[in-house]
Amino acid sequence: MNLNYKDDNNNNFRKNRFIFLEEEEDNILNHERPPDNKPPFNFLDVNNSATEMYLLLCPPLSPSDTERCGVAYHAIYSIANLISQYPERSTEIMTICNNTVNYYNKEMDFSDIVSEYFYLGITPDVFTATLNLICQMMVCETRFFSKMFDNAFLTRLLSVVEDPKSIFKNDLNFDYLNPSNNLFDFTENIFNNNAFNFNNNINNDINQNINNVPEIEYSDEKIFLSRLAACSILNDYFEMYSHTTDEERNCMFMPDINDIAIFLINGVTNSPKESNSSIAIVQLIAKFVKFFALYISNGEILSSLFYLLINIIIDPECNAIKNAYFALIELNKSNIATNLYERVHFEQLFDLYMKNEFYQKNYTQYLMGLIDSALISENEELIILISGLLNKDLLFTMSHFRFIDEDEEKRDKNPNFKQNESNTENINENEYKIDYFNGFPIDNEDEEIESITYYEKNKNVIINFCNLCDDMINEPKFNFTNDLYSYGVINWMIQVAESTIFDIKRAAVNVLVHFISECDQEIMFNLIYNQNVIDISLNMILSNLDIYEGFIRALISILNIISDQNNNDQRKTQLFSKLVEENVFEVIEEAISNFSDEIEINEMAKHLLGFANAIHDSLKEA
């Protein structure tokens, strides 16, 4: 698909129409009106340029036709401005345009003409003018734009992928609009104003005739329509972007991401919370965050986006709560908002959830998704905060209804998505990566005061988390029989066990040991085989052996169970091969050698030898 429209039938049709119209050209260019039974050329006595209507009826065949391109640009903007200035007469304007087209060709209507301009996109200014006109038509007359917008716009965007620069080629010596923002100029007017206010320095002859017309505001319905139209356009762009290769993205038109974020925030803020446009925009925010959050360089915009989503979630009357949850989950996954997660908002969210039956009934899965995305964000402060906000009642709810993010492994890991340096310029790395031991740094004296402050600031959530871990070990109702729940808690505890805060690390490892000891054998086999618990945990076994000894003992115990000759699970051989490849024996052997009790060392070594022999025999048989 390319920008040069190759359809022979359509080209012949356009040329035939051009020839037919040339016969009328003298009359039209001389501004002679048709007989009384023919449609008038004047637009509500505001614009009497028959030449412009003629040019609309016959799009230029080549950008080299500078006169025709220039007048076409003028004509399209004229009609767009008229609709903008006279929204209450938009149907009349559209009818005049439609009747005029119909008069010259019964098989066409006005939308066909606009669609051709849009499809051809002769020059950046003509393309942008046509796009603005389409947006105007959206606001006032859905029947005129539906067929051309759905097909032509997406086609147009896809063509940009194949030839990204062609849409912005400056083949003529016109003073074009700034091409870098062509596709998105209209959204600023949609979201920041109640009507389109085009920067139109060409149509002075029109504007001077309407300067005295009172300003007319769009009805709420038309404002919503315009926002929905913009959402459709942005949605098409996001979808197109998600299906392009890295190479294509590198040479694609890239809009100003900060500006789009502002448009979306304003769009939600200015739309009634129960409206369809509000829901559509929040849905769009989720996609936007997923693909473009890492490009947002303005911390204030990120903060506004974050708090906007929180405020939507905590409002039970808003219809977009579910979409806001998804958007917040995507924002968490992006791991860019280290300096934005303020305790009050998360505490408010969790407190609301625990106290409000409406949320417990409808949004458990989304809250679990929010927790999951926070825990995999690699943001230690956020992990500690979320862990400290959880309580045994919520955890028990999790054990009965676990939300698994199926797209977690499919997340876009595009290396081009690099965090903008300005996102973190005010963040002290040491504040989040201090080497803690019992809440204090080991070496650096300068960091000691900072670590004490950090520990004290988080003291309550750390205590809450440790108490929660004790509850999980001691409460009989946590029987760990739910596979999904066990997977979730194991992964969560492994994540938290890598914390630099000793109390957090010790509490998490204790839960891991308890889970490994108490879990049903089949569940534990699945955990080790499917969730790669061993792979994840090997890296942390050799540090802080004083708290990991129990973990190592539990692992050896489970490995012995799996290697039991009575265990006929067909996946055993594959698992054994994987453990050999990962050098599990060497790691555990080194860990055992550091145990303090010599008798226990010998006992563990025997277990390890027995396990190694079982694996050897199993692989030999295979």
CATH 3.30.110 fits 458-621, yes or no: no
The pLDDT confidence band at residue 512, using thresholds 50, 70 and 90, is: confident
The owner of tokens 């009747």 is: 99
Q: For residue 58, what is the DSSP state?
A: S
Worst-scoring range by mean pLDDT, 93-102, 119-128, 137-146, 178-187? 178-187
Q: How far apart are CA 315 and CA 185, in angstroms?
A: 32
Q: Which residues contact 423 (CB under 8 A, 6 or more apart)?
A: 296, 297, 299, 302, 336
Q: What phi and psi, each to the nearest 5 degrees, are found at residue 47?
A: -125, 120
Residue, of 603 and 42, whose pLDDT is higher: 603
| 527 beta partners | none
Q: What phi and psi, each to the nearest 5 degrees, are found at residue 441?
A: -70, 150
Long-range Cβ pairs for the range 606-615 (8 Å, 24+): 607/556, 607/557, 607/560, 608/556, 610/560, 610/563, 611/556, 611/559, 611/560, 611/563, 612/585, 614/560, 614/563, 614/564, 614/565, 615/563, 615/576, 615/579, 615/580
Residue ranges, comma separated, of all CATH 1.25.10 domains in the chain are 458-621
Task: Using a pLDDT cut of 90, give the percent of the chain over it.
Answer: 0
Residue, of 479 and 526, whose pLDDT is higher: 526
pTM of the full structure: 0.45
Residue, of 168 and 352, whose pLDDT is higher: 352
What is the per-residue pLDDT across 519-558, written as a single tens digit (0 to 9) for each? 666 666 666 665 455 555 555 555 555 666 666 776 676 6
Q: What is the pLDDT of residue 582?
A: 65
The pLDDT confidence band at residue 215, using thresholds 50, 70 and 90, is: very low
If you average pLDDT over residues 366-382, what whole number do you get? 68
Q: What is the pLDDT of residue 357?
A: 77
**Tokens found for residue 204:** 């002075």
Q: How far apart are CA 96 and CA 90, in angstroms?
A: 10
Q: What is the pLDDT of residue 545?
A: 58
